[in-house]
Amino acid sequence: MAKQAAEILLNEKKSETIADLVRRMLVLLGEDPEREGLHKTPERFEKALKFLTSGYHMNADQILNGATFSVCYDEMVVVKDIEFFSLCEHHLLPFFGKCHVAYLPSKKVIGLSKVARLVNMFARRLQIQERLTSQIAQAIQDKISPEGVGVIIEARHLCMQMRGVEKQHGQAVTSAMLGAFRNSKQTRDEFLSLVRTRRG
């Protein structure tokens, strides 16, 4: 239903661009979109927003692009400190931080850079941190059927730091644990220990 409504709206205003809407928004805020500093802002904003939401035009198959490999390896694979930036769907303000991903291979592994690309794909959408965490874990589970997947995200939200409670040092931590990471305390503890280990 929501998809149909969006399509109707798009068809009604197909000639209107994001830049046009931003220009109108600037007027509603009491600004002059034609003044020197703002003259090209609507177009710049449109370009930036399309980049920041480019994850809608990607899927996991495109990202992995055959980079799954059959191996005899049954120890934990961890890719940690993956930096990401996303937009909160409630206020369209950024949230950003680090994502830590681990999985226990069954028969296949993923190219390490592809894990980071998966994180970026889901982050470049309008998101909430909880859903982002789950989507990353589920995508890895679906694509290589490991014994288990663990994902932890630590993020700062500008909707909390710039407005509302205005707590500049608040950080949200979410996790998604599937398979062995949910069922085995030893596996979970090993992952948490590796994530807490910092260089230096």
Contact yes or no for 147/108 (Cβ under 8 A): no
How far is residue 115's CA from residue 151's CA, in Å, rounded to a whole number?
11
Active-site residue, 169 included: no
Active-site residue, 129 included: yes
According to DSSP, residue 75 is labeled S
Active-site residue, 157 included: yes
| Set 39, 89, 130, 168: catalytic member | 89
Q: Give the CA dihedral 157, 160, 161, 163, nearest 10 degrees.
A: 130
| Set 31, 43, 46, 91: catalytic member | 91
- What the block records as the tokens of 114 is 């592809």
Active-site residue, 88 included: yes
Query: Phi then psi for 173, rounded to 5 degrees?
Result: -125, 125
| Set 127, 129, 135, 161: catalytic member | 129
Active-site residue, 130 included: no
How far is residue 61's CA from residue 143's CA, in Å, rounded to a whole number?
8
In a 3-state reduction of DSSP, which class is residue 96?
strand
Task: Centre a 10 Å sphere on the Cβ of residue 141 and count the other Cβ atoms it contains.
Answer: 16
Task: Centre a 10 Å sphere on the Cβ of residue 107 and count the other Cβ atoms it contains.
Answer: 14
| Set 88, 127, 135, 161: catalytic member | 88
In a 3-state reduction of DSSP, which class is residue 106?
coil
| Set 83, 90, 168, 171: catalytic member | 90
Q: Tell me the catalytic residues.
A: 88-91, 129, 157, 159
